Amino acid sequence: MNQRAPIEEQIDLPFVESLRISFQSLKIRFGRSIITTAGITLGIAFLVSVWTNNEIGIALQESGRQSTINTFEETTEKGISTKDIWLIVMSLIVCVVGIANSMLMAVTERFREIGTMKCLGALDGFVVRLFLLESGFQGFSGALIGALLGTLGAVLLGLKDYGLDLFFYFPLLPSRPEDGPMQLGVIVVILLGCVLGMILAVIGSSFPAWRAAKLPPAEAMRTEV
Amino acid sequence: MPDIVVKTEDVVKEYRMGSNVLRALDGINIEIERGEYISLMGPSGSGKSTLFNMIGALDQPTEGQVYIDSQNMSHLSQRQIAAFRCHRVGYIFQSYNLLPVRSAHGNVTLPMIFAGIPEKQRNEKAEELLARVGLGDRMYHLPDELSGGQRQRVAIARALANDPSIILADEPTANLDTITGREIIDLIKQLNNEQGVTVISATHDLKMLDVSDRIVDIRDGLVERIRNRDEIEIEVGEVGGE
């Protein structure tokens, strides 16, 4: 207890320590983590299913095997309809808003915890890093599950529309037909879905976490949710 | 010459509520000596919790200065403030403020993690502190599995983790029944006696009166009066005799 010595500077914590604390937090709040993650899963599942469905539609049209029950009446020569574009844009918006909302809620209900950690000597950056790690992991795992579910949904829908032909022309890899638009392929769509889910989760949580970490602890702890 | 650990100079704190400005502290001047047990008393809304936050570097004054160990708190960097909260002060709150995701043991080790103390050492220290506050058999329970009095004991053990020179207690007994509250006060007083740690407590619990060396009465953001122990004892006698 060198009480009269000048006040020293707070040290940075090793990364492993942050990793351990954030995983412990996820594990113990498993129920709540699942709900937050489910928000991400649903958003990404919706987006990926619409997107994959569209990829499948284009691939089968390119192959000359039109759907027996083609519901897209406005299909252009190049195989992509304005309706498809609208659907993708809409699902992207739903996905962004849904994930941002889940993460905002999850962080806001922990303002008091953030204030307490600062009372115990946590640096602002450490608090933000904890939330970044937690949400990054939640975002990635939620989005991966969502992307796989979404793909499964799109495949089932495709089977209904195209029958087993679907598997002969399944757009797994990126391709560029001579006269058609670039096709991303299902694998790239899944990857993009995962990355998007993770980025949205990290942005959605680190912004409020950063705001809470900047507040004086007294104010953060006063916040009622 | 007295060893002053906390000194405030004309501390003013204003809160902006829409277009209104609420003056919670209206120029507070106090000096607290090392090893003292001080109670900040006053009705709710008097500004005692605000003053508590200023002394603990949990908030910044609008005007005026706070000196702790002769350091002007407004001159500290972010890192120094974090280190100050980590090493110099132990906080005890009315609502315990334990981290719900960490066990009693995990809560006590957290400030030591922030201080960079090696794992083995901090685990041992946490066990020792929890045993001292009487929770040796409930170390690995989550806060939700503990009673109010037990949670406050965890908070006290956590406050002591980095051997602070000041314990700041904000209404530590307000959520507890009379007997448990008494036990918590006795525990804090014991630490004050045995370790010479300075205790600053915001309270309106009369049980705190007879353990305090001095009582600072706060009213409307000002120091109304400061009473010494001998004056207090007389008053407690009167209260007890009624």
Tell me whether residue A14 is in a domain: no
Higher model confidence: residue A160 or residue B10?
B10
User: Under an 8 A CB cutoff, do A10 and B83 touch?
Assistant: yes
The minimum CA-CA distance between A102 and chain B, rounded to whole Å, is 19
Asked if residue A101 is part of any domain, the answer here is yes
B211 vs A94, higher pLDDT: B211
Q: What is the pLDDT of residue A108?
A: 85
8 Å CB contact of B165 and A24: no
Asked if the Cβ–Cβ distance from A219 to B84 is below 8 Å, we say: no
Q: Domain for residue A164, yes or no?
A: yes
Q: Is residue A7 part of a domain?
A: no
Amino acid identity, position B152: Q
pLDDT score for B233: 62
Cross-chain residue pair A9–B79, CB shorter than 8 Å: yes
Report the interhelical angle of B78-87 vs B104-114 (nearest 10°): 140
Residue A139 lies in a domain: yes
Alpha-carbon gap: B55 to the closest alpha carbon of chain A (Å):
12
Query: What's the structural domain count of chain A?
Result: 1
Beta-strand relationship, B4-17 and B20-33: antiparallel
Residues of chain A with Cβ-Cβ distance to B87 below 8 Å are 8, 121
Which ranges of B20-177 does DSSP label H, i.e. alpha helix?
48-55, 78-87, 104-114, 119-132, 148-159
How much is the pLDDT for B34?
92
A71 touches chain B (CB under 8 A): no
Q: Is the pLDDT of residue A26 over 50?
A: yes
Q: Is residue A171 part of a domain?
A: yes
- For residues A12, A13, A15 and A17, what is the CA-based torsion angle, rounded to 10 degrees? -170
Domains of chain B: 34-58+76-241 (3.40.50.300)
- Domain-embedded: residue A12: no
Rounded to two decimals, the ipTM of the complex is 0.86
Q: Answer whether residue A76 shows pLDDT above 70.
A: no
Question: Domain containing A38: what range?
Answer: 30-63+76-222
- A133 is written with which tokens? 């790690």
CB pairs under 8 A between A and B: 101
- Name the band, by pLDDT with cuts 50, 70 and 90, for residue A4: low
Judge whether A88 lies within some domain.
yes
Judged by a CB distance cut-off of 8 A, whether residue B141 touches chain A is: no
Q: What is the mean pLDDT of each run of 10 residues along chain B (242 residues)?
A: 88 90 91 92 87 90 92 90 93 91 93 93 94 91 93 94 92 87 89 91 82 91 87 58 40
Per-residue model confidence (pLDDT) at position A69: 46
